Structure 1
Amino acid sequence: MSSPKVIIVTGASRGIGLAAAHFLLKQKHNLVVVARSKGPLDELKQQYGDQVQVLAGDLSDFSLGPKALDLATGTWNRLDGLILNHGVLDPVKRVAQADPEEWRKCFDINFFSYVASVKACLPALRGTKGKIVLCSSGASQSPYSTWGAYGATKAAINHLAATLSVEEPDVTTISLRPGVVDTEMQRAIREQHSDSMDKKAADHFANLHGTGKLLKPEQPGHIMAQLATDGPKDLSGAFLSWNDEKLAAFQNK
């Protein structure tokens, strides 16, 4: 393989982010792993040693992106990729019942922290002709009752990717729909939020779980990881599903 690359992965303590981190580390790349929960990040450090630098903190803190960049460049003197995968579903409320401050908090975590991290990392990524992978959602295009805040942040992420594709020609940015994945967010939908949601939507997610049809985190996680190292330039600005035919070359690896 080519020489190891340096990649920042957020939301790396579980689910899709953890799956992406393991994939990249097994390929001998070097990572700065970022999440609120430090324990799982320390386990990655213990398992992979000098390939890993750990940064734990609240992802609504806009200084976390610059700190992750400093760790990457201070340790390996470069940055090749940025995977922004963290996010929250709350508030799960109809617009008529929601507090605008709850929407603001959702945007701080799901979107504005992405902007802060991208801004910090762009100079380094320009220098390596690097990749940015943003975790989006089908909810960015399909409305769900009580998911207004979440869906709006994901739609904003798609537009951010499109904007970066025209503003930053030396950087490849792709927004990825990971599908319906067996993660903590899906557990929360079943156990905490089903009564707040439209019954048809809640039953749909419960049925996917009950019939074993939720995706494994590794399925979109491995695609995300490969896009962070080898994302095609001609896909920059695109919003793609993890299993889109345009990504066929990255499937089953």
Structure 2
Amino acid sequence: MKTAMITGASGGIGSAIAEALAPTHILLLAGRPAARLDAVAARLGATTWPLDLADPDSVEAAAEPLAELDVLVHNAGVAYPGRVAESTPEQWRATFEVNVIGAVALTLALLPALRAARGQVVFINSGSGLNVSPGLAAYSASKFALRAFADSLRADEPSLRVTSVHPGRVDTEMQRDLIAYEGGEYEPAKFLSAETVAQVVAGVIATPLDAHTHQVVVRPRA
């Protein structure tokens, strides 16, 4: 059975991806120790994998035991709602530290294992990585940067399959925070479900080996 590492799997899209891949993959749920992550792992028979994307030593330690890795799903991310004038340099640093630098660092650390397996790297990006979203200045910029990294990885590592997935708004805690910032009423039916995004990701990972999906854009029908 192939092995998949998923970051940010304690809830939302990440845990849904873990559930979608559980029948076909040995799961490594990477993140800082937390009861929620432990609960997801216990439910799916997965292994928790200690990792702090903001700590270079933690990233190196997480990668060291792995000789091969078939799938790496970058799902962990943070967002600080705010327009440009409301944002602070600290928020920009924190956003890029997790959304970009952490993803880059983990990918580089795992590159030998991914090459050995001729593996796949899937970046859970955002609609904000294609078109800037008002009120999400730092987040949008980080997702544009993440897309550029994915494109560079694809160009520079031809043995790997690299995909950026760009969901529209998804029914998650992050979305609730954004709607609260915007002063709107939260209506889950207007958004994609995390399970729908997970099925899209699972489909990308199951793509036959003679094909390479570069980018997927998925939006709510509503």
- Do Structure 1 and Structure 2 share a fold, with TM-score over 0.5? yes
What one-letter code is carried by the residue in structure 1 that aligns with 2:54?
A: S
Deviation string, structure 1 residues 138-172 (Cα, Å, up to 9, x no partner)? 11222222211000110011111111111000011
Q: Which of these residues, 133, 137, 144, is aligned with residue 126 of structure 2?
A: 137
Q: Which has the larger radius of gyration?
A: 1
Percent of aligned positions that are identical: 32
Residue 217 of structure 2 corresponds to which residue in structure 1? 241
SS in 1 for 2:165: strand
The whole-number CA distance in structure 2 between the counterparts of 1:187 and 1:37 is 24
Residue 104 of structure 2 corresponds to which residue in structure 1? 115
**What is the TM-score with the length of structure 2 in the denominator?**
0.88
Does residue 39 of structure 1 match 2:28?
A: no
Q: Which of these residues, 75, 79, 87, is aligned with residue 98 of structure 1?
A: 87
Question: Residues 139 and 231 from structure 1, CA distance in 2 versus in 1: closer, same or farther, beyond 3 angstroms?
Answer: farther
How far residue 109 of structure 1 moved from its aligned partner, in angstroms, is 0.8
The whole-number CA distance in structure 2 between the counterparts of 1:170 and 1:36 is 30
The whole-number CA distance in structure 2 between the counterparts of 1:210 and 1:140 is 23
Residue 25 of structure 1 corresponds to which residue in structure 2? 22
SS in 1 for 2:69: coil
**Aligned residue runs from structure 1 range 128-207, under 5 A:** 128-191=117-180, 193-195=181-183, 203=184, 206=185
Deviation string, structure 1 residues 108-138 (Cα, Å, up to 9, x no partner)? 0111000001101111111111000001111
The whole-number CA distance in structure 1 between the counterparts of 2:106 and 2:41 is 22
Flag as ranges the 4+ runs of structure 1 deviating above 6 A.
none
Structure with higher helix content: 1
How far residue 57 of structure 1 moved from its aligned partner, in angstroms, is 4.7
Unaligned runs of 5+ residues in structure 1 are: 196-202, 244-253
What one-letter code is carried by the residue in structure 2 that aligns with 1:95?
A: V
What one-letter code is carried by the residue in structure 2 that aligns with 1:239?
A: Q
Instruction: Count how many residue pairs are aligned between Structure 1 and Structure 2.
Output: 219
What one-letter code is carried by the residue in structure 2 that aligns with 1:223?
A: V
What one-letter code is carried by the residue in structure 2 that aligns with 1:54?
A: T
The whole-number CA distance in structure 1 between the counterparts of 2:201 and 2:62 is 19
Does residue 12 of structure 1 match 2:1?
A: no
The whole-number CA distance in structure 1 between the counterparts of 2:62 and 2:166 is 24
Q: Which of these residues, 61, 65, 68, is aligned with residue 67 of structure 1?
A: 61
The whole-number CA distance in structure 2 between the counterparts of 1:231 and 1:16 is 24
Check whether the contact 2:71–2:121 (CA below 8 A) recurs between aligned residues.
Answer: yes
**What is the TM-score with the length of structure 1 in the denominator?**
0.78
